[in-house]
A and B are shown apart, each in its own frame.
Chain A
Amino acid sequence: AQSVTQLGSHVSVSEGALVLLRCNYSSSVPPYLFWYVQYPNQGLQLLLKYTTGATLVKGINGFEAEFKKSETSFHLTKPSAHMSDAAEYFCAVSGGNAGKSTFGDGTTLTVKP
């Protein structure tokens, strides 16, 4: 079984500030972890993923995330927010070869000028 908890359904930051979106997961097998971004009226787009190897992974648009097994976390960060980062972000976990992902409820990021 697998599950994802995203802490905070809404996060608001000022332009240029640090972005931190929190994700905790549970999985009965070594997890694959993903962050997706969804802009209004669009589908989801893969931002970054952790499968094996380096625990700090970099994605598109300057985002990165760190896999911390001991904390069962995969938080998403960006050093400096841009207005174009305003969107909804989803964390997801997939276990083993099944290929089926479980998604969190999403976090809406607002960026203030």
Chain B
Amino acid sequence: DVKVTQSSRYLVKRTGEKVFLECVQDMDHENMFWYRQDPGLGLRLIYFSYDVKMKEKGDIPEGYSVSREKKERFSLILESASTNQTSMYLCASSSSGMGQGGARGYTFGSGTRLTVV
């Protein structure tokens, strides 16, 4: 069964800490995405990556960075955590295969619920 694995289900961090959220997929997917989910706001795209070492900003990149050194791993970094970054973070991946990049849909991880205190 194909999987996207997020390293932590629940995380509590202090304001100002540097936070790493890890995501690993075992499907050899080219595309990986980080979203945050907040009540009433749906899913908002933070960053995405189409290939190793490539990254592009999504709709709300401020306060975040990402790293993709290997195809299977996409890390989200909160440089200095703040309370307004308390949220559910969702990682997803998709295949670009045969130019049908938009057609495959996403496979999501289970999410990391981050609380910044």
Contact = CB atoms under 8 A, between A and B. Distances in A.
Nearest to B100: A97
Contact-residue bracket for chain A: 20 to 34
26 contacts: A9-B40, A36-B105, A43-B90, A43-B108, A43-B109, A43-B110, A43-B111, A44-B90, A44-B92, A46-B105, A49-B105, A51-B100, A90-B43, A94-B102, A96-B102, A97-B96, A97-B99, A97-B102, A98-B101, A98-B102, A99-B96, A99-B104, A100-B45, A105-B41, A106-B42, A106-B43
B31 interface: yes
A105 B42 contact: yes
Interface of B: 4, 9, 30-31, 33, 35, 40-43, 45, 48, 50, 90, 92, 94, 96, 99-111, 113
Interface string A9-52: 10000000000000000000000101010000111111001010
Nearest to A101: B106
* Residue with the highest number of chain B CB atoms closer than 10 Å, among A41, A43, A44, A94: A43
A51 B96 CA distance: 14
A99 B111 contact: no
A45 B30 CA distance: 19
Nearest to A100: B48
A93 B80 CA distance: 33
B90 A95 contact: no
Nearest to B104: A99
* Residue with the highest number of chain A CB atoms closer than 10 Å, among B45, B48, B105, B107: B105
A61 to B, nearest CB: 16
A99 B40 contact: no
